[in-house]
Amino acid sequence: MSSENTPAITPSSVSDTDSALHPVEPGINRSTLLKFGAATAWGTAVAMGAAVSPVSAAGVPRAHGRFTASAVPLPGVLDLYINEGYTKMVDDSLVYQRGFGDRPTALRDARPSLRVVPKIFTREGQVVESRTYPLGAAIPPNGTPAPAGADPANPGQFFIRRNHWASFFPQRTIIVESGATVRLRVFNGLAGTHQLTVAQAAHGRSDLSTGPIAPGGQALLEFDAPYAGTYIYYDPTNAPVQRALGLFGTILVMDPDDPWRVAPNQMAFERQWLWMTHAIDTTWARIEAAGGTVNPLTDPAVPRYFMLNDRSGYEALGHSPNRELNRLAHEESLISGYPRQVDIRNFGEDLALGTLRGGQAVRMVNPGIASHQMHFHGNHLWTVRRNNVEWPREFGHVDADGHVVLQQWEDVIELPPMDRKDCIIPLKRPPDATDKVWYNRTEDWKYPMHCHAEMSQTAAGGMYPGGLVAHWELKSQVNGG
């Protein structure tokens, strides 16, 4: 947990053009950018340096200790770079964001590194980059686990493979195997002081933190894997402002000996989904981009974009013209699977060798600033834990805040800021469809998931459904049925 410079880093001063090109306005639409020849959404930012008018941004202080090259990697250590840059919103405007990235990038970088590609701290002490976990498990095509076969007793339903399918994880995910040691080296490439904190990850549910890291400085944070579950890493500086600007991610702790369970001795699942929610206030972004400091009390947040795994609206739903983006949405966010008969009294039952009567796990994490109400159409979800505390299956209670502590069905999952919920979506036959409709099903059934705090369903003040949305899909067999 020390802040110091190391010879491995090559600091460089900021060039004049660098600061001169700093954009004051975060909104640059894509059609403008297209004139500069960027064809795909991923490529749009390429033209940004040219598209941004070099307005009177001179004088905005940028970091003088910015790193221009990655540090020499250390074995078993994950390097995180605190960067800034512009990210494309669902309406193609560009908004200033910060983030913990994989490599140092400059403000005007065409592809700023603001979120890590998923990494895994293995029990053996390695850091492995992988979008899927468990390592070596079968990759579900397009994110959808295929079943083991038809369930003869339940027409239209299927047996589900046990301990078989890998899960895809979104950017910002750091998976830690139980028993592993986490070693994070954090480089602050920005002008202000930042830090990295892992909420509730220490004994007694206290926080772990690098402490403040000066501009151009670095810090090392080392700790043993906490109890299985989800932990938010974030920058608590001027909370919740730095978090709202994008300085967050999720650490997911899994038991490598039993990686198809929510936690040891808890629910088994077919595959899991990690959903991170985030709300972006462009006014806050504008203030901080210009070198100012947001006062969340005098300038309360009015978020304008609402993200699920850093996508919103038609991009989150896989309806965009960008096929690569759609594929990522399907693999990482858009829950899908084949219908199965489940009994929530036992989500791990071995019905036949190698099969499971269980659903899929949805781990919802809200590092954002808005209180979300995650509403699923089509199936109720079974909520098993909140903030890594297992809910009992009997003799529950209502806690002092007025929340029920007992495993339960819900069609709206309450997700206030910094909260995490682990739920099981059963992927069962939608219970209120008539028999005739169900037995004559010929196509995939798709259901919305959306936040019911309806302001979050907008982008740039309108364009419903443009915000925090997803689908989940009950697949059908290809040939009739």
Partner 1 sequence: MRLRGWAAPSATVVSEGKRRSDDDDKKKSSTKRRDDKSPGPRERQKPKPSPSKSPRPQPSRSATPSSQPSATRSATPSPTPAPGTTGPTPTRSSTPTPRPTRPSPSSDDDGEEREYDSQADFASHQMQQDAPETHFLETPQLSVDLDLSSRDLRFPDGAKFKMWVFHQDSSGRGFPGPTLRPTEKGIFHARVEPSMGPHSIHWHGMEPDPRNDGVGHTSFEIDDHYTYQWQPEPGRTHDPNYGAAGTYFYHCHVNTPLHAQMGLLGPLIIDPIELPGFPVAPGNRRAFADGPEYDIATESLIMPFSIDPRWHKMGHAAGLSGEDVGLNRFEPTHFYITGGLLAQRRETGEEVWAPTQLPINVSGHGKAPSLMRFLDGNYLPNKITFVNPDGTPARIAELVSHDGRPYRHTATPGAPAIPTSMHPDPSAHLFTHTLSMGSAERYDLLLHPPTAGTYTLRIEWRDWITGHKLAHRELPLLASCVLKGPGNQTYTRLGPQLG
Could you tell me if 43 and 88 are in contact, meaning their C-beta atoms sit under 8 angstroms apart? no
Q: Which of 369, 423, 425, 470 binds partner 1 (CB under 8 A)?
A: 369
Sign of the CA dihedral running 105, 108, 109, 114:
positive
- From the list 90, 75, 71, 80, the residue with the least C-alpha distance to 113 is 80
Cis previous bond, 259, omega within 30: no
- Interaction with partner 1 in 397-456: which residues (CB under 8 A)? 397-398, 400-404, 406-412, 414, 416, 428, 430-448, 452-456
Q: Which of 320, 361, 389, 419 binds partner 1 (CB under 8 A)?
A: 320
User: Residue 178 corresponds to which tokens in the numbers above?
Assistant: 């139980």
Q: Which is nearer to partner 1, 55 or 69 (CB)?
A: 55
Smallest gap from residue 365 Cβ to partner 1 (A):
17
Cα–Cα distance, 131 to 209 (Å, whole number): 26
Smallest gap from residue 355 Cβ to partner 1 (A):
12
Smallest gap from residue 235 Cβ to partner 1 (A):
18
Could you tell me if 112 and 87 are in contact, meaning their C-beta atoms sit under 8 angstroms apart? yes
Q: Which is nearer to partner 1, 183 or 385 (CB)?
A: 385
> Where are the alpha helices (H) located in 231-322, listed in sequence order?
241-244, 282-289, 313-316
Q: Which is nearer to partner 1, 47 or 342 (CB)?
A: 342
Smallest gap from residue 34 Cβ to partner 1 (A):
9
Q: Which is nearer to partner 1, 122 or 477 (CB)?
A: 477
Burial letters 103-124, b for 16+ CB under 10 A, else e: bbbbbbbbebbbbbebbbbbee
- Interaction with partner 1 in 231-260: which residues (CB under 8 A)? none
Cis previous bond, 240, omega within 30: yes
Q: Which is nearer to partner 1, 181 or 408 (CB)?
A: 408
Structure-derived torsion over alpha carbons of residues 185, 242, 112, 180, reported in degrees to the nearest 10:
30
> Where are the alpha helices (H) located in 382-447, listed in sequence order?
435-439
The DSSP call for residue 233 is E
Q: Which is nearer to partner 1, 17 or 346 (CB)?
A: 346
Determine the residue type at 187. F
- Interaction with partner 1 in 345-364: which residues (CB under 8 A)? 345-346, 349
- Identify which range of 103-111, 164-172, 260-268, 458-466 contacts partner 1 by CB under 8 A: 458-466
- Interaction with partner 1 in 146-185: which residues (CB under 8 A)? 146-152, 154-158
User: Residue 96 corresponds to which tokens in the numbers above?
Assistant: 């200033």
- Interaction with partner 1 in 34-53: which residues (CB under 8 A)? none
* Backbone angles phi and psi of 138, in degrees to 5: -65, 140
- Interaction with partner 1 in 47-106: which residues (CB under 8 A)? 89-93
Residues forming beta bridges with residue 469, ordered by sequence position: 450
Q: Which is nearer to partner 1, 99 or 240 (CB)?
A: 240
Q: Which is nearer to partner 1, 16 or 435 (CB)?
A: 435
Q: Which is nearer to partner 1, 185 or 385 (CB)?
A: 385
Q: Which of 107, 342, 362, 424 binds partner 1 (CB under 8 A)?
A: 342
Q: Which of 5, 6, 142, 206 binds partner 1 (CB under 8 A)?
A: 142
Cα–Cα distance, 216 to 268 (Å, whole number): 44
Count, residues near partner 1 per rule CB under 8 A: 127
- Interaction with partner 1 in 201-230: which residues (CB under 8 A)? none
Q: Which of 54, 264, 292, 481 binds partner 1 (CB under 8 A)?
A: 481
Name the pairing type of β-strands 272-280 and 360-365.
Answer: parallel
Q: Which is nearer to partner 1, 98 or 475 (CB)?
A: 475
Q: Which of 313, 358, 359, 367 binds partner 1 (CB under 8 A)?
A: 313
Q: Which of 242, 378, 423, 427 binds partner 1 (CB under 8 A)?
A: 378
- From the list 108, 114, 103, 125, the residue with the least C-alpha distance to 9 is 103
Determine the residue type at 475. K
Smallest gap from residue 257 Cβ to partner 1 (A):
23
Can residue 394 be called a binding residue for partner 1 (CB under 8 A)?
yes
Smallest gap from residue 213 Cβ to partner 1 (A):
27
Query: Distances from the Cα of 99 to the Cαs of 107, 189, 190, 248, in angstroms?
Result: 11, 11, 10, 7
Q: Which of 3, 21, 26, 165 binds partner 1 (CB under 8 A)?
A: 26
Q: Which of 7, 75, 204, 462 binds partner 1 (CB under 8 A)?
A: 462
Q: Which is nearer to partner 1, 18 or 25 (CB)?
A: 25
Residues forming beta bridges with residue 398, ordered by sequence position: 404
- From the list 59, 65, 56, the residue with the least C-alpha distance to 14 is 65
Cis previous bond, 465, omega within 30: yes
Q: Which of 96, 168, 275, 314 binds partner 1 (CB under 8 A)?
A: 314
